[in-house]
Amino acid sequence: MELEIGEIKELCDHCLGRLFASLGHGLTNEERGKAIRVIYAMDHDLNISDLYPDKCELCNNIFDKIEHFADIVIKAIEGYEFNTFLIGTRNSREIVERDRIMLEKYGNRGEDIGNELSREIGKAVYKRIGKDVSFNDPDITIVVDTEYEYAEVLPKPIFIYGRYRKLERGIPQTRWIHGEGKSVEEYIGDVANSYFLGEKYYLHGAGREDVDVLMLGNGRPFVLEIKSPRKRNIDLSMLQEEINRSCSGKVEVLDLKYVKRDMVKKIKSMESRKVYMLRIELEREMNFEDLENRLKQLEGKVIYQRTPWRERHRRPDRVREKRIHSIRLVSLDGRHAEIEIISDAGTYIKELAHGDNGRTRPSISEMLDQKIKIERLDVVKILDRED
Ligand SMILES: [Zn+2]
């Protein structure tokens, strides 16, 4: 091997070896650097101890501090639950720049210093805690700042799938900006987070019901995302019981299970038909048969819904086509009627009922040729695709 390295007396074994990291297998950079130095000493008939610098010109002997960095990591991860980990490093600009120039000078056959530091600290931590390194999907990533000597812990978020029922009106699905009243998100998230000890959490729902609409039956699918959790091995059947006990009569959860991040996307695009129970007040009394016959004319039909008036500031103005799969008069008591409706995902049921001043056509109000008042609306079931 013919290596003419002008800097041989200026670099430590790690940095020397790292310049040629692609040469030879089964060697650490330190071993590789030492070998190069030995060969050089033999080639030039020199005493090897004369070939070592007091301080490495590239890294300032940063590799002497590996155990110290491992100490910093061990301290930082105290209180975090995890099975796999990965170390990353943030290094001083000067070192990174010197490293880049040196690697280039010797033909970019090496490995950059951040990689080696991360791996060496990882090995030292592994020896002490016995947990595995994962490159693809670690539970926690620890970034060591080698310049200012501290570590940042970045745990992978937790994702929990479930279905919720909303048993009381006036509860929004997610947090209000101005914080009036507790949301489904907070009912579920506060309890969950008291176990996972995350920094924050989000509830991703498969659609949402209005604040004054109940969500009954088998519940609405959701994914709860917990950011930067300290704990991750929580028994979900225990958690489910705990949520249902502390939110009793307001919000209930079922089917909790751990899922991967991609479930959030799936749930957002989930298009499901829903079964609604609508209670209305008629302006004029009608008999049961007449009312039922007129409602039945909507069954199987496509209705055209222009963006509702109440949503006009939040959504673009356009016309949506939705199919009413089934409509059934359940009860009639004077001017009060209960109607069960099964319709496409995203149907505006209140507008289907009152017509929204002609923005939804046809509507129940139009079919009955009279004004109607909505007394109550509930989602009684979300139909899975197989239903
Ligand atoms: Zn060095």
Q: Domain tally for the chain?
A: 3
Ligand 1: centre distance to CA 76 (Å):
26
197 in a structural domain: yes
Do residue 250 and residue 377 come from a single domain? Answer: no
Mean pLDDT of 197-210: 93
Domain membership of residue 291 as a residue range:
274-382
| Cβ-based neighbours of 213, under 8 Å, separated by 6 or more | 166, 169, 377, 378, 379
Bridge partner list, 381 = 275
Ligand 1: centre distance to CA 122 (Å):
18
Ligand 1: centre distance to CA 40 (Å):
18
Alpha-carbon distance of 161 to 364, in angstroms, equals: 36
What is the CATH classification number for the domain harbouring 234?
3.30.70.2510
Ligand 1: centre distance to CA 10 (Å):
8
- Which pLDDT score is estimated for 178? 66
Nearest to 40 by CA among 72, 6, 73: 6
Do residue 54 and residue 117 come from a single domain? Answer: yes
What is the CATH classification number for the domain harbouring 350?
3.30.70.3190
**Is 99 annotated as catalytic?**
no
Do residue 23 and residue 149 come from a single domain? Answer: yes
Do residue 149 and residue 162 come from a single domain? Answer: no
Mean pLDDT of 96-123: 94
Ligand 1: centre distance to CA 16 (Å):
7
Ligand 1: centre distance to CA 99 (Å):
9
Do residue 262 and residue 247 come from a single domain? Answer: yes
Share of residues in the chain with pLDDT > 90 (%)? 81
- Which pLDDT score is estimated for 4? 66
8 in a structural domain: no
Q: Evaluate if pTM is beyond 0.75.
A: yes
* Confidence band of 304 (pLDDT split at 50, 70, 90): very high
Task: Kindly state the tokens that stand for 170.
Answer: 């006036």
Do residue 186 and residue 82 come from a single domain? Answer: no
Do residue 248 and residue 293 come from a single domain? Answer: no
Do residue 151 and residue 20 come from a single domain? Answer: yes
Ligand 1: centre distance to CA 60 (Å):
6
Do residue 288 and residue 299 come from a single domain? Answer: yes
Last-in-domain residue among 224, 247, 268: 268
193 in a structural domain: yes
Range among 18-22, 251-255, 264-268 with highest mean pLDDT value? 251-255
Taking 50 as the threshold, does the pLDDT of residue 387 lie above it? no
6 in a structural domain: no
190 in a structural domain: yes
- List pLDDT tens digits, range 226-237: 999 999 999 999
- Which pLDDT score is estimated for 158? 97
Taking 60 as the threshold, does the pLDDT of residue 34 lie above it? yes
Ligand 1: centre distance to CA 74 (Å):
24
- List pLDDT tens digits, range 152-185: 999 999 999 999 999 999 999 998 766 668 999 9
- Ion ligand 1 neighbours (CB, 5 A) are 12, 15, 56, 58-59
- Which pLDDT score is estimated for 53? 92
| Cβ-based neighbours of 3, under 8 Å, separated by 6 or more | 20, 36, 39, 40
- List pLDDT tens digits, range 330-341: 999 999 999 999
Q: For tokens 């006036």, name the residue.
A: 170
* Confidence band of 147 (pLDDT split at 50, 70, 90): very high
120 in a structural domain: yes
Do residue 17 and residue 150 come from a single domain? Answer: yes
| Mean pLDDT computed over every residue of the chain | 93
Mean pLDDT of 261-272: 86
CA dihedral sign, ordered 374, 378, 380, 382: positive
Q: What is the DSSP string of 267-313?
A: HHT----EEEEEEEEESS---HHHHHHHHHTTTT-EEEEE--GGGTT
Do residue 134 and residue 172 come from a single domain? Answer: no
350 in a structural domain: yes
Mean pLDDT of 101-124: 94
- Which pLDDT score is estimated for 60? 95
Q: Which of 288-292, 295-299, 313-317, 373-377 has the lowest mean pLDDT?
A: 313-317
Last-in-domain residue among 131, 155, 179: 155
Taking 60 as the threshold, does the pLDDT of residue 364 lie above it? yes
| Cβ-based neighbours of 84, under 8 Å, separated by 6 or more | 131, 132, 133, 134, 137, 138, 139, 140
Active-site position among 71, 210, 212, 344? 210
Taking 60 as the threshold, does the pLDDT of residue 51 lie above it? yes
Ligand 1: centre distance to CA 104 (Å):
16
114: left (phi over 0), alpha (psi -120 to 50) or beta: alpha
Taking 70 as the threshold, does the pLDDT of residue 308 lie above it? yes
Last-in-domain residue among 228, 252, 268: 268
101 neighbors 112 (Cβ within 8 angstroms) = no
Q: Which of 25-29, 353-357, 383-387 has the lowest mean pLDDT?
A: 383-387
Bridge partner list, 336 = 281, 333
Task: Report which of residues 245 and 313 the model is more confident about.
Answer: 245
69 in a structural domain: yes
Do residue 46 and residue 106 come from a single domain? Answer: yes
Peptide bond before residue 155 is cis, with ω within 30 degrees of 0: no
- Which pLDDT score is estimated for 177? 67
What is the CATH classification number for the domain harbouring 48?
3.30.2300.10
Ligand 1: centre distance to CA 218 (Å):
62
* Confidence band of 1 (pLDDT split at 50, 70, 90): very low
